[in-house]
Structure 1
């Protein structure tokens, strides 16, 4: 049952103020790690944290970034240009682009390449589910390259293209990229129909041009602390990544960043026994290498002193959920602690909210990196946003009621963790 103090916390938290934060971040545009947008979002997050009286600490990181110019996919027989998006970390075409014939290749399995000659051609792969089945393009591209293909076109099952990634989809950062990549673009289901119609008429020749920059760049992970009154070294962590794979990134993850700021605004005025650490991370999009580096640097301290980590990522999908177990192809299942998931659900129920549960079948957000080193962690994650990684991920689609529900729940869970005898909650 909510205490009077917790009821007051809930009363102070505002979904509309969280939405205002999201609007400011969306104005920045493309916020991928190491870009100008990243620099501006760092300034914004630090300014807000400092205005709440929090102690701000930065962890420098150096990781690959990706910037691109508008790509081109043109059906040469008609001159029609199709709207397309280049995947993260996909290579550029040769200067001036490349011209080649298209060939359908099914799901892009080894068996598909044994039955179809793709040498010198651009392969076309449809995503055959409503989800994002080919989001991790690395292994698909490597198979195509090994078979002699010169490019890829992926058809997304939505009426718009989205930003995929040329990463392999492994947890281990050392295995992040395959040895061979291909120039690639993603197109919408609507333009996919146009492309299929052209192929059916024998108009298979296209021009593909991408101009992409991939290089190592510097950024920071921001930690903002509200120090505890009795056990300041011990703390509860709340994390949200600020980077976006494409502009405007209002839901992914402006929603998490805007909400963590609102939680920080309110909790900064409290006097917890343990500290709160609000973490604004980057380099999440892709294989969560920012959180990996953070955990690598601070592992000993985190294992000893961070009692739990609460992740906020994409709050405006259909249903906000907690992950029960997550899967990467190169690791054992990542089991999220039942006691912490239950605590979040119980607090949400006290507040009149409810969150779902899911098993993440290919990758988990940043809380997985904390679980890997032994820190109990969970995430509020609405992973079924149809506008994911598209230019339609805009502020008008973010529901402030979702922000309010997440902020209320996370703030009160964090408060209880910071002030309770943790072992009574089931912690190690």
Structure 2
């Protein structure tokens, strides 16, 4: 009996050694979340993918050769990860825009150049440019225009800005411009020259209008030169400027999203989507916005494809284009897959550079919080519980929100992101690579958890519930500002029932 007990203990001990040794050789913990964390935190492929995308492809304006190259590259990357279902999906974009050249020169009282760049969807100036006196309209409020009066007619208007130091100021910058443009057009202005919100001559590009040309030329000026102009005006000098903007605008263009699927083992018809936008503006190389998160999506796909067992639901990876020009890629995806929205269990979007993920925006749906917290428990010691119940117009979750699909957007530390946002300085060297790897692990744990959870994290909302959410979160006001509310009202966009 003692001998048999000794043999039994020896066998159990030997088996334990065998399996622990096998686990050590495989280098992967048994728990899927631990395995994802271990592999993604030491990933080198995410760095090389980002370097290639930024340094060898570069800026990726939708409709440009660079953007088309990036689509081909992304397809190759997903296929190289072993994913069998990879495709490009086309969509229509009503207008694509790009800058060819931008110049400004002060002619009076002294001659000196001013560094400028056109705002996206700015109207071009006539050949030879616009030469006009400049008029200071302060922050562009109604009282500022009343103060300027008839002096604004035929003038180049100087529009002041605050230094960008928070996401709140960034959103305010976007939200104020459409109304200012309408006032300028009504007042007969020749053009708008806005001060850069970044110091030391840094220029960047924001969209002035979604998919349509603005009614007049709009340019961004280097902050220091802009302030020189205002000081000349304060000194009582008359200032005349020549502004030349040469832009390319094309109607009704075809563009492409990249889609890759890992089929679910039990419910392959149900989809959890992880997305980021592949396009960028062309001033920098689109590293923070949003190349680093393109590399993140591809690396998460690579790791999930290598794991067994696969999640219950299909995980779909979407790299959208047309985002910077007005969220056209994700809108096109939702339109093409509208009949399948009931089968979309969730959509997750990452679009705020490489700042550390602190939680997720729940798209105005507080009821999603318990499930998200449960799924993220394996990374709870990374301080990722800062979930918010806000909703907004601004990234590729928006059309999923309008369709009532549970949608999550990564909340990220903004400080490393804001100085280079949409700027000529948005290059590979600005990315925090360690934070990027960590973010990839957080997103992978979340997406796998969403896809493998027995129950969905929440139902698809009907149109009435979506309408209540839009009103409660203020998204309805944002939609009016951006001239897209009518599409919702006419049921041309969003859930119809």
TM-score by length of structure 1 reads 0.88
> Among residues 298, 305, 310, which one is paired with 2:348 in the alignment?
310
CA contact (8 A) 1:15 1:400 kept: no
> Among residues 406, 431, 447, which one is paired with 1:414 in the alignment?
447
Tell me the equivalent position of 1:61.
91
Tell me the equivalent position of 2:467.
none
CA distance in 2, matches of 1:190, 1:360: 36
Tell me the equivalent position of 1:46.
75
CA contact (8 A) 1:138 1:165 kept: no
State the SS of the aligned residue for 1:197.
Answer: helix
CA contact (8 A) 2:163 2:198 kept: no
CA distance in 2, matches of 1:275, 1:361: 26
Closer, same or farther: CA 4–340 of 1 in aligned 2, 3 Å:
closer
CA distance in 1, matches of 2:285, 2:87: 27
RMSD: 2.5
Deviation string 1:18-46 (CA, Å, 9 cap, x unpaired) is 23222211132221211111101101100
Tell me the equivalent position of 2:438.
405
Quote how far apart the aligned CAs of 1:334 are. 7.9
> Among residues 332, 346, 356, which one is paired with 1:293 in the alignment?
332
Tell me the equivalent position of 2:198.
158
Gaps of 5+ in 1: 169-175, 326-332
State the SS of the aligned residue for 1:138.
Answer: helix
Closer, same or farther: CA 274–359 of 1 in aligned 2, 3 Å:
closer
Tell me the equivalent position of 2:144.
112
Answer yes or no: is 1:208 the counterpart of 2:243: yes
CA contact (8 A) 1:31 1:37 kept: yes
Deviation string 1:306-347 (CA, Å, 9 cap, x unpaired) is 21111111233476553245xxxxxxx787943455356544
TM-score by length of structure 2 reads 0.76
CA distance in 2, matches of 1:368, 1:210: 32
Tell me the equivalent position of 1:4.
31
State the SS of the aligned residue for 1:422.
Answer: coil
State the SS of the aligned residue for 1:57.
Answer: strand
CA contact (8 A) 1:85 1:185 kept: yes
Tell me the equivalent position of 2:281.
245
CA distance in 2, matches of 1:48, 1:62: 24
Closer, same or farther: CA 320–103 of 1 in aligned 2, 3 Å:
farther
Closer, same or farther: CA 364–98 of 1 in aligned 2, 3 Å:
closer
State the SS of the aligned residue for 1:225.
Answer: strand
CA contact (8 A) 1:353 1:405 kept: no
Tell me the equivalent position of 1:322.
360
For the pair shown, the structure with the greater C-alpha radius of gyration is 2
Which has more helix, going by share of residues?
2
Closer, same or farther: CA 397–358 of 1 in aligned 2, 3 Å:
farther
Closer, same or farther: CA 9–21 of 1 in aligned 2, 3 Å:
same
CA contact (8 A) 1:239 1:281 kept: yes
Tell me the equivalent position of 1:22.
50
Q: For residues 27-426 of structure 1, what are the structure 2 equivalents within 5 Å?
A: 27=55, 28-54=57-83, 55-63=85-93, 64-77=95-108, 78-116=110-148, 117=150, 118-128=152-162, 130=164, 131-132=169-170, 133-135=172-174, 137-159=177-199, 160-167=202-209, 177=212, 181-201=215-235, 202-216=237-251, 217-246=253-282, 247-270=284-307, 271-303=310-342, 305-317=343-355, 322-325=360-363, 337-339=368-370, 341-343=372-374, 346-350=377-381, 352-354=382-384, 356-357=386-387, 363-382=393-412, 383=414, 385-423=418-456, 425-426=457-458
CA distance in 2, matches of 1:194, 1:344: 54
Quote how far apart the aligned CAs of 1:193 are. 2.0
CA distance in 1, matches of 2:102, 2:243: 8
CA distance in 2, matches of 1:375, 1:361: 13
State the SS of the aligned residue for 2:227.
Answer: helix
- The aligned length equals 409
Quote how far apart the aligned CAs of 1:272 are. 2.3
Quote how far apart the aligned CAs of 1:282 are. 0.9
Quote how far apart the aligned CAs of 1:156 are. 2.1
Deviation string 1:141-165 (CA, Å, 9 cap, x unpaired) is 2210110100011112211222021
CA contact (8 A) 2:276 2:349 kept: yes
CA distance in 1, matches of 2:212, 2:367: 27
Tell me the equivalent position of 2:11.
none
Is the deviation greater in 37-46 or in 25-34? 25-34
CA distance in 1, matches of 2:357, 2:442: 15
Closer, same or farther: CA 272–323 of 1 in aligned 2, 3 Å:
closer
Quote how far apart the aligned CAs of 1:15 are. 5.1
Closer, same or farther: CA 391–23 of 1 in aligned 2, 3 Å:
same
Deviation string 1:213-235 (CA, Å, 9 cap, x unpaired) is 11132211111011122221112
